[in-house]
Amino acid sequence: MIARRHQVALALTALLVAGAACQNQERQPPARPAPPAPAVARSFTLVASGDVLPHASVIERAGFDGNGTVYDFRPMLSGIEPVVRRADLALCHMETVYGTDGDYSGHPVVKSPPQIADALAAAGYDGCSTASSHALDDGAPGIRRTLDGMDRAGLRHAGTARSEAEARSVTTFQAGPAKVAHLSYTNGTGSKPLPSGQPWAVNPIDANRMISDARAARLAGADVVVVSVDWGTEWQDAPDQLQLALAQRLTASETNGRPDIDLILGNHAHVPQAYEKVNGTWVVYGMGDQIAGEMYNAKGVQDSRANDSTIGRFTFTRPTRPGERWQVTGAEFIPQMYDLDSGRVRDLNQAIAGGAELEGVRDRITEVVLSRGAAAAGLVMGE
């Protein structure tokens, strides 16, 4: 009898323990689902702007903004900094070389204070093209000082070189999920000869070489290849025959069915020129001068178009299959101007409240930019 009672007690204890366990299980909060894997970025934005050409009045303004003790170009660029900083990759065009120890000049030999590189980097630019008609204004020393100054500012560069090894290297950036190569070439150096024994100091326009360089950049792992070109006829809104023929040749070049070049950015003409989609690739024939002083055109007349320019903004999206090109899924232009009175680059979309005069400048830029059918190809004015 005692044994049976013991067995019953054990059974009741087991039931109580089991019931308590069930209650504990019921009281436990439900397991949380595992957090979703972070989304893999599929696109990036690139912005690019035109010639940085600090004439004497621009240099003087930077001295004034630096209280007469330093050259401070940062206020000049503050108006477009929000646009530049929002991009994954921002490229500029450094038209001039840098001087030293106060040896600065604005025309005809142009030597700029190196502090311009600090201002460009502070505004959010990642790199600049440097092959230009002024690249040899102070020979090899000018190139060296310019690239040294850009290095100190953390600004990458393409188009000129201090050594043959540097000339053979490819300038690349990580832009969001993509590796972007930047190449730069010029149609001339203002009749200034290449430094003796340094034929690699400045990249000249040569279609075969440009295509070869683009293919090499792709083989080195570039997802997107961007080519900056200093070309065109000064003061001419329309692209000239060299621009049209070279754009056709470069954009038609393919390897295994994939274009070798994904975007062409033009400079040099001092005025904004058209955007156009050529063989499926966007070409900006000329972005205009982002920073420049008073300029006089071929007729000797002061021409305010030299202070008009655009920022191009392009969104590239990853292909669905490996080996295909990154597609431009958004193409925009942002009109801007360098205000001679204030010494500031102005985003015209933000400054248009200034009156009908600024609205007229924006309309003039827009008419030229869209003059070769870019609107039908998807180009819009950006904010």
Q: What is the DSSP string of 17-48?
A: HHHHHHHHHHHSPPPPPPPPPPPPP-EEEEEE
Is 33 a domain residue?
no
Arithmetic mean of pLDDT, 170-197: 97
Do the beta carbons of residue 278 and residue 248 sit within 8 Å?
A: yes
Asked if the structure places residue 30 within a domain, the reply is no
Rg (CA), the chain: 29
Number of neighbouring beta carbons within 10 Å of residue 95: 30
pLDDT of 367 > 60? The answer is yes
Q: What is the pLDDT of residues 39-58, one digit of tens each?
A: 668 999 999 999 999 999 99
Assign residue 291 the CATH number of its domain: 3.60.21.10
How much is the pTM?
0.90
pLDDT the model gives residue 28: 54
As a whole number of angstroms, the distance between CA 118 and CA 154 comes to 8
Evaluate whether residue 333 is within a structural domain.
yes
Domain count, the chain: 1
Cα 74 to Cα 68, 70, 219, 310, 312: the distances in Å are: 15, 12, 38, 19, 21
32 domain-assigned: no
Mean pLDDT lowest among 47-56, 245-254, 256-265, 354-363? 354-363
Query: What is the pLDDT averaged over residues 8-29?
Result: 44
Cα angle 67, 62, 349 (rounded to 5 degrees) comes to: 120
- The more confidently predicted of residues 379 and 29 is 379
Q: Give kind and range of the element (H or E) at residue 183.
A: strand 178-186
What is the average pLDDT value for the chain, to the nearest integer?
Answer: 92
**Contacting residues for 60 by C-beta, under 8 A, at least 6 apart:** none
Interatomic CA distance for residues 47 and 89, integer angstroms = 6
What local confidence, expressed as pLDDT, does residue 42 receive? Answer: 94
- Give which of 307, 303, 309 is closest to 287, Cα–Cα: 309
Q: Report residue 351's pLDDT band, with 50, 70 and 90 as the boundaries.
A: confident
C-beta separation of 94 from 149 below 8 A: no
Predicted pLDDT of residue 2:
41
Q: Please count the residues of the chain.
A: 383
Per-residue pLDDT, 9: 43
Q: What is the pLDDT of residue 356?
A: 77
**Residues 37, 38, 42: CA angle, nearest 5 degrees:** 125
- Residues with Cβ within 8 Å of 301's Cβ and at least 6 positions away in sequence, in order, are none
What value does the mean pLDDT take over residues 187-216? 97
**One-character DSSP codes across 277-331:** EETTEEEES-BBEEE----B-TTS-B-GGGGEEEEEEEEEE--SSTTSPPEEEEE
Alpha-carbon distances, residue 260 vs 63, 204, 279 (angstroms): 44, 19, 12
Res 352 pLDDT > 90: no
pLDDT, residue 107, reads 87
The amino acid present at 106, given as its one-letter code, is: G
Residue 18, in any domain of the structure: no
**Residue 22 counted as domain residue:** no
Check pLDDT > 90 for residue 178: yes
**Per-residue tokens: 122:** 């502070």
Residue 111: inside a domain: yes
Q: How confident is residue 29, by pLDDT bands cut at 50, 70 and 90?
A: low
% of the chain beyond a pLDDT of 70:
89
pLDDT of residue 379: 98
Residue 7 pLDDT more than 70?
no
Residue 56's closest CA among 94, 98, 110, 11?
A: 110
For residue 6, pLDDT over 70 is answered with: no
Question: Which of 13-22, 138-147, 213-222, 265-274 is least confident?
Answer: 13-22
pLDDT at 327 over 70: yes
Q: Which of 245, 240, 242, 246 is nearest to 227 (CA)?
A: 246
Give the per-residue pLDDT at 22.
Answer: 42
Residue pLDDT, tens place only, 70-123: 999 999 999 999 999 999 999 999 999 999 999 999 988 999 999 999 999 999
Amino acid symbol at 85:
R
Backbone φ and ψ of 123, nearest 5°: -75, -15
Beta-strand relationship, 275-278 and 224-230: unpaired
Within a domain: residue 246?
yes
Residue 262 has phi, psi (to 5 degrees) of -105, -15
What percent of the chain has a predicted confidence (pLDDT) above 90? 85
Residue 359, domain extent: 43-381
pLDDT, residue 31, reads 61
